[in-house]
Amino acid sequence: MPIALPPLTIFIVEDNTWYRELLAYRLGQNPEYHVRQFGTAQACLDHLHQSPERPDLVTLDYSLPDGQGDEVLKRLRVPLPTVPIVVISAQEDVSTAVGLLRQGAYDYLVKDEETADRLWHIVHNVRQQVGLQRENELLREQIGQKYDPTHAILGESPQIRSIWTLIDKAARTNITVSVSGETGTGKELVARAIHYRSERRNQPFVAVNVAAIPRELIESELFGHEKGAFTGAISRRIGRFEEAHGGTLFLDEIADLDPNLQAKLLRVLQEREVSRVGGGKPIAFDARLMVATHRDLAEQVQQGLFREDLYYRLMGLPIKLPPLRERGQDILLLAENFLRKFCLLNHLPALGFSTEARHKLLQYAFPGNVRELKAVVELAAVLAEGDTVRPQDLSLRNAALGYASESAGNETLREQVAGIVQRYLDAHHGNILQVAQLLQIGKSTIYRMIQNHEVRVR
């Protein structure tokens, strides 16, 4: 299925105001084209220098007051090495055209009454190409993310580099892996990375959060049950251990497993067989086991809350993930990555962080670690004005995150933000200016949400 294309940004560099307006008007007829106009080459270069916004296509007048086509083309190629640049000239001159094309111009057009239409076709073609390229990038990113820890588990800190090494080592054998670390540090991500690097990569990866399943259901969830095993067991059910056959079983929050099930798990690991609740013959268990916990399992053993024999069985290769606040500049690297991806997936123009916003991120402790950073960055992308994320867009206090927890669990961040804005609009009789002031967001953000049918003025 083709992906929805983000708007195409076009820079028009042309000193003749009338002609520039004409091109902008023609291209602007497609609402998916964002046109930005510049009267000189320098104005365009200054913009490229000061803003993270990058065009998908540039039209360049051959004779500008501050430079000739070939020379300006060369200067534009520095910040825009691969962006198509269409040169538009008042005169038809074959040798100039050939020279420009050799220099990497995308096309050469002569100004006449058909230029705007020809440009329209060129832009249409570029749009198709950009679409294919983005689709490719997205697919490559998805595959890369799945298999390569250096793509999936971002970071450049020494702590993360040593985690990559451990992942590679773990992936070479079937050793049980126990991942520990605070909430949101990426424990499940590490487990997945090991699975997708291992020989079991084409078999299932089954993740079970032990703490999330009610006590009375967990046994049948893990081991399955036979029909009639208990009231309500109206048909046979395959357990997660069986489901993971040939692949990997990831038991998250293992410290929360109740003592009875700890004993049963120990038996399964010793005998490499599982039995469904309610009988039947034992079934061979062939899955690689990985476990995770945010608690200190050794301490749980000391306190008598976790079986010591099971602890030694499960420990295998321990991988301890560092909290985000101890990973220094990784905070910025992750933040930029989340911002880029969010903009790409939501068809927003590219955004960057202001210097003050970076400081604010670096000063915060991130108790929710990477998960919290991701949520904060995605919300900031929605709230940002223009092309920059400012400190006030970063909702680092609990108050702002409190809104999120009020909402239904499955909503996306974007839906949650829309929900907040809608509530304010309703409460203030659709007064956009007032709502923008109260929420400290720009009016244009609200207009954009109305245009995208995310909120309504009722």
Ligand X SMILES: Nc1ncnc2c1ncn2[C@@H]1O[C@H](COP(=O)(O)OP(=O)(O)OP(=O)(O)O)[C@@H](O)[C@H]1O
Say if CB 176 and CB 224 are below 8 A apart. Answer: no
User: Please, what is the minimum distance in Å from the beta carbon of residue 185 to ligand X?
Assistant: 5
Classify burial at 51, counting beta carbons within 10 Å of its beta carbon; exposed 0-12, middle 13-18, buried 19 or more.
middle
Minimum CB distance to ligand X smaller for 252 or for 336: 252
Backbone angles phi, psi at 63, to 5 degrees: -110, 95
Minimum CB distance to ligand X smaller for 187 or for 197: 187
> What residue type is assigned to position 430 of the chain?
G
> What residue type is assigned to position 407 of the chain?
S
Say if CB 200 and CB 219 are below 8 A apart. Answer: no
User: Please, what is the minimum distance in Å from the beta carbon of residue 83 to ligand X?
Assistant: 29
User: Please, what is the minimum distance in Å from the beta carbon of residue 338 to ligand X?
Assistant: 8
User: Please, what is the minimum distance in Å from the beta carbon of residue 447 to ligand X?
Assistant: 31
Residue nearest to ligand X (CB): 186
Minimum CB distance to ligand X smaller for 186 or for 247: 186
User: Please, what is the minimum distance in Å from the beta carbon of residue 184 to ligand X?
Assistant: 5
User: Please, what is the minimum distance in Å from the beta carbon of residue 190 to ligand X?
Assistant: 7
Minimum CB distance to ligand X smaller for 255 or for 274: 255
Q: Kindly provide the b/e burial profile for residues 121-147, where b requires at least 16 CB atoms within 10 angstroms of the residue's own CB.
A: ebbeebbeebbeebeeeeeeeeeebbe
**Strands (DSSP E) found in 279-431:** 283-284, 288-293, 317-320, 352-353, 388-389
User: Please, what is the minimum distance in Å from the beta carbon of residue 153 to ligand X?
Assistant: 4
Minimum CB distance to ligand X smaller for 185 or for 262: 185
Task: Find all residues with CB under 8 Å of 45, minimum gap 6, and list them.
Answer: 75, 76, 79
Minimum CB distance to ligand X smaller for 183 or for 388: 183
Query: Which residues bind to ligand X, rule: CB under 6 A?
Result: 153-155, 181, 183-189, 252, 294, 334, 370-371, 374
Minimum CB distance to ligand X smaller for 333 or for 450: 333
C-alpha separations of 322 from 104, 108, 197, 233 in Å: 47, 55, 22, 43
Minimum CB distance to ligand X smaller for 189 or for 208: 189
User: Please, what is the minimum distance in Å from the beta carbon of residue 306 to ligand X?
Assistant: 17
Both tokens of residue 62?
A: 């051959």
Classify burial at 29, counting beta carbons within 10 Å of its beta carbon; exposed 0-12, middle 13-18, buried 19 or more.
exposed
